[in-house]
Amino acid sequence: MLRGLYTAASGMITQQRRHDTVTQNIANINTPGYKQVNAVSHSFPDMLISLVGDKESGNAKRIGKLSTGVFAEESLASYVQGDLRETGKASNFGLLSSLNLNDPATGLPIPFDASGKYLSEDGEVIYRPEAFFSVLDNNDQVRYTRDGNFTVNAAGDLLTSQGQRVLGVDGNPIVLPAGMSINQVQSDAVGNFVYYENGVAVPVARLGVAVVNRPQELVREGNGVYRAEDPEAADIRIGLTVEDEAAVRQGYLETSNVDTAQAMVDLLAAQRAYESNQKIIQYYDKSLDRAVNDIGRV
């Protein structure tokens, strides 16, 4: 009976974390570049139960398996491309990313599913490479984001909405020349910044777009910012090329990729599952109360 209490309690904790994850997604529906997070649950090892009997004589009969509970193992980000929304602001930049990989065995492009994953024949999960803007946080640590809602301060620094400095392809923060407005700057598909003087294009900087070949290695920090604990494991390359199936779009912002309808379904499902586990605990509580206070007196 106590095992059932622990199992139901673990279910409540798991559904609470699932509820919190979905709530976070819904709260960031309007956050530019936000990537939906999905909670992954895992069950504890099952137990094989049998009827009490003489095992040596073979009289014991197997009843079946008993689950000992579930726990929220991790939260995985879905890097599915969000829609690009035109803003018309020169300081807004959206990333359109559909990067691909070739299968080493066949040399053909890997057929990723809608979520950006592919399960190979040997059971290995391969993720689609993703592109991110490289930024520098307040501790001078390199971070990555898809939020291209940039601004320019009085010193000409290109900043994110969180005040982090946007990095160029050379690894240094991008600073516009003195007296230059961001409205004078034009960007091409690979992030080259230029301005025109007497009809001649003058280069200013180049966005340090990071191509992350193993995005599952990134760690979410919050506010749409990620870090790479091990850049080598994440296999990061800085700088887009014309051959890459990714592009920078000036005057656009990538919207959140949260599926609102599915999020509401998941929210209600987590609530119903939480309530079911709660009722089971109440049932066990009443049973224990009767066993102790009623049957125990006989």
pTM for the model stands at 0.80
d(CA 11, CA 39): 14
Q: How many helical (H) and strand (E) elements, i.e. helices and strands, does the chain have? A: 3, 22
> Tokens 């000036």, residue?
250
Which pLDDT value is given to residue 269? 93
Give pLDDT, residue 184.
92
Give every CB contact of residue 107 below 8 A, 6+ residues apart in sequence. none
Residues 6+ apart with CB under 8 A from 53: 59, 60, 61
**Tokens 């137990």 sit on residue:** 47
61-to-50, 57, 255 alpha-carbon distances in Å: 5, 11, 58
The residue extents of the domains of the chain are: 2-77+259-297, 86-99+128-254
Separation between Cα atoms, residue 287 and residue 205, nearest integer Å? 71
Give residue 204's pLDDT: 93
CA–CA dist 205, 170 (Å, integer): 9
Burial of residue 140 (number of CB atoms within 10 Å: 0-12, 13-18, 19+)? exposed
Burial call 199-210: b when 16+ CB within 10 Å, e when fewer: eeeeebbbbbbb
CA angle, 157 as apex, 209 and 194 as ends, to 5°?
A: 60
Q: What does the pLDDT profile of the chain (298 residues) look like in tens digits?
A: 577 788 888 888 888 889 999 999 999 999 999 999 888 877 766 665 555 555 565 566 666 666 667 777 677 888 889 999 999 999 999 999 888 888 777 778 888 887 788 887 777 888 889 999 999 998 999 999 999 999 999 999 999 999 999 999 999 999 999 889 999 999 999 999 999 988 888 999 999 999 999 998 999 988 889 999 998 999 999 999 888 889 999 999 999 999 999 999 999 999 999 999 899 888 888 888 787 777 656 5
CA distance 79 to 246: 14
The answer to whether 151 and 138 are in contact (CB under 8 A) is: no
Q: How far is CA 188 from the centre of its chain?
A: 28
Read off the amino acid at residue 236.
I
Residue whose structure tokens are 């920078």: 248
Cα distance between residue 288 and residue 298, in whole Å: 15
- The 10 Å CB-count burial string (b at 16+, else e) for 42-52 is eeeeeeeeeee
Distance, CA of 211 to CA of 41 (rounded, Å): 29
